[in-house]
Structure 1
Amino acid sequence: MKSTQPTILVYSPDRAKAYAECVRNHGFNHIKVAATSEEAKKHLPGTEIILGWKFPTHLLNKPSASSVSWYQSMGAGVDDLMADATIPNNITITRIVDQFGTYISEYVFTFLLYMLKDVARMKQSQRENRWDPFIPELLAGKTIGVAGLGSIGAEIVQKARAFQMNVHGLSFNGKQAHIVDRHFSPEQWVAFVKDLDYLVLTLPLTDATKHIINHDILLAMKTNATIMNVGRGALINETDLVSVMRKGHLKAAILDVFETEPLPVDHPLYTLSNVHITSHLSGPSTTDGVCSFFVNNIQRYVNDQPLQGLVNRQRGY
């Protein structure tokens, strides 16, 4: 059994103190706090565990970080960590899992219902003092495709079932193939997207998934289909998406994540009326949620039990 009071470094550019206080409230007192690269470098000696977000990963291969054995990310995505091949292999990396499905699935269906029921038309009629009866469409019978069937994708599938939708899925390992009506492998992208009314991306970002959505895949979709990205920004080739959306090939794109964040003010996506942009808010990392997950993992760590959210470096997530 390891020490019940491991030395922990909490790193976040803007919320480190709040996370540290939460961890202390659970009885762990050997806490150091850093919000800058300089502070992290100062506090690394003697640190055993890092709870971090946007951590300066180049520090992890320095002698001052030799005591670090475990890095817990504050988010679900770890592509920044996977991009740094210099992180020593003896440092275990974990990510937050099973916390974002409810938030993200509600975000997904907020937009699907907003668009399908044409809420914008209703509000415009109200502004114009105009009586405008029409018959909105139903989600029932529509086909939704979820690319990525982890905890987030599974929650979206569950809600789609409640709306009596046809549900298709694509995943790399097929472990959750049983939860969808039709399952597709990564070699079947065109077959997967061609009949969808809605494509929702929840995949992690890896070498295999970067720019997986390109010009060819977008043009393989129906002209009245909608694409939604709540996974990672670089899943979509944004240049190709802008080109396709300008041609009006797709009904809409709903984007919460982007290759560069914040999205630059002069990005052409802002100018497209058939693109809906939100500021990476579909699956927030809350202080209490991250803290609860981390504290549970600390207990597992000190008891030599398997950690939750363990990252497979070969797989990339």
Structure 2
Amino acid sequence: MIQPNILVFHPDYLIVEAYTKSIQRYGFKSVQAASTLEEAIKLLPGTEVILGWKFPLELLNQPIASSVRWFQSMGAGVDDLIADSSLPQDIILTRIVNQFGTYISEYVFMFLLYIAKNGSRMRQAQIERQWDPFISESLAGKTVGVAGLGSIGSEIVRKARAFDMNVHGLSVSGTNASLVDDHFSADQWNEFVKDLDYLILTLPLTDATRTIVNKDLLLAMKQNACLINVGRGALINEGDLVDVMQSGHLRAVVLDVFEIEPLPKDHAFWAIPNVYVSSHLSGPSTIDSVSNFFVENLKYYIEGQPLNGVVNRERGY
């Protein structure tokens, strides 16, 4: 088997070393590691395949990168790569797919249950040593809307069925429309959200989805509805969301992704009591899972077979 020259890039040297060793354990020996611009410049000549995160893309349209044929992102989101014109059109771009459904769906349902069962009230009663029996809500019979029915959204739908929820979905392609009770297209957002108890965003970030959740859409939701974003931060107009939450509309918001990460310490989200903030951790890219995905794609690449996770640049994901 003729092996391509592989370059692994990540700003954290320890992570690069871990990925490199993981890939080499599969029998791929022509693997080099870089964590700085200088190292990338030195190692790019002769490189055919890049496994990268926050790679200096401006290098890819220079002569030293003329041998690069394929760029595998370490993550699922590629909006930053799509937006950068430095990435030549003849380089195949792939992203990680079908790796995050379990993790992210568990994150979503942790918060759905916490909100429905009023976990904060239980915890506060314990802190105050108060005996506070109360009747909590149930997820059964509630309506959840999942915007984005790819591998992540589909797993959320599957788990929602186990909780006897009504499930609505919105997607561009309609490929998985049969998974949900009611399906809506991308021009039906207001109709989609108006009856939801919970809105879950799992969409990629494209020109069409950027700030798709704005003040008008938020106010079209029921006042006691909840919003969870595990897609991309810029799906939401954050200023509009702050205004809506401070006005008392919406019961709770759960945000794992943001326009600027890390979230600035002076951002209003930190201080709004019914906004739950987490540090982009719902769908971790583990070294083992990403390495497994990459190695499988490497085998397809060597055999001349179609790769998994190929990005359609016009579509944006």
Shorter-normalised TM range? over 0.9
Could you tell me which amino acid in structure 2 is paired with residue 46 of structure 1? G
Number of the residue aligned with 1:215: 215
Alpha-carbon deviation of 1:4?
Answer: 2.7
Number of the residue aligned with 1:297: 297
Number of the residue aligned with 2:10: 12
Number of the residue aligned with 2:179: 179
Number of the residue aligned with 2:40: 40
Task: Give, in whole Å, the separation in 2 of the partners of 1:255 and 1:220.
Answer: 19
TM-score for both structures, normalised by structure 2? 0.98
Alpha-carbon deviation of 1:37?
Answer: 1.7
Alpha-carbon deviation of 1:86?
Answer: 2.9
Alpha-carbon deviation of 1:292?
Answer: 0.2
Task: Give, in whole Å, the separation in 2 of the partners of 1:159 and 1:99.
Answer: 16
**1:253 aligned to 2:215?**
no
Number of the residue aligned with 1:312: 312
Task: Give, in whole Å, the separation in 2 of the partners of 1:166 and 1:51.
Answer: 40
What's the % identity of the aligned pairs? 65
Alpha-carbon deviation of 1:259?
Answer: 0.5
- Greater displacement, 115-124 / 158-167: 115-124
Task: Give, in whole Å, the separation in 1 of the partners of 2:275 and 2:120.
Answer: 14
Could you tell me which amino acid in structure 2 is paired with residue 203 of structure 1? L
Q: CA RMSD in A?
A: 0.8
Number of the residue aligned with 1:107: 107
Q: Secondary structure at the match of 2:187?
A: helix
Number of the residue aligned with 1:148: 148
Task: Give, in whole Å, the separation in 2 of the partners of 1:58 and 1:217.
Answer: 38
Q: Secondary structure at the match of 1:58?
A: helix
Task: Give, in whole Å, the separation in 1 of the partners of 2:127 and 2:313.
Answer: 54
Number of the residue aligned with 1:188: 188
Could you tell me which amino acid in structure 2 is paired with residue 225 of structure 1? A
- Count residues in correspondence: 315
Q: Secondary structure at the match of 2:51?
A: strand
Task: Give, in whole Å, the separation in 2 of the partners of 1:246 and 1:4.
Answer: 60
Number of the residue aligned with 1:206: 206
Q: Secondary structure at the match of 2:200?
A: strand
Number of the residue aligned with 2:163: 163
**1:77 aligned to 2:81?**
no
Task: Give, in whole Å, the separation in 1 of the partners of 2:42 and 2:60.
Answer: 13
Q: Secondary structure at the match of 2:279?
A: coil
**1:267 aligned to 2:276?**
no
- Greater displacement, 122-131 / 265-274: 122-131
- Greater displacement, 81-90 / 286-295: 81-90
Ranges in structure 2 where 5+ consecutive residues have no aligned partner: none
Q: Secondary structure at the match of 1:254?
A: strand
Ranges in structure 1 where 5+ consecutive residues have no aligned partner: none
Could you tell me which amino acid in structure 2 is paired with residue 89 of structure 1? Q
Alpha-carbon deviation of 1:267?
Answer: 0.8
Task: Give, in whole Å, the separation in 1 of the partners of 2:28 and 2:155.
Answer: 33
Alpha-carbon deviation of 1:89?
Answer: 1.1
- Greater displacement, 36-45 / 253-262: 36-45
Number of the residue aligned with 2:288: 288
TM-score for both structures, normalised by structure 1? 0.98
Alpha-carbon deviation of 1:85?
Answer: 2.1
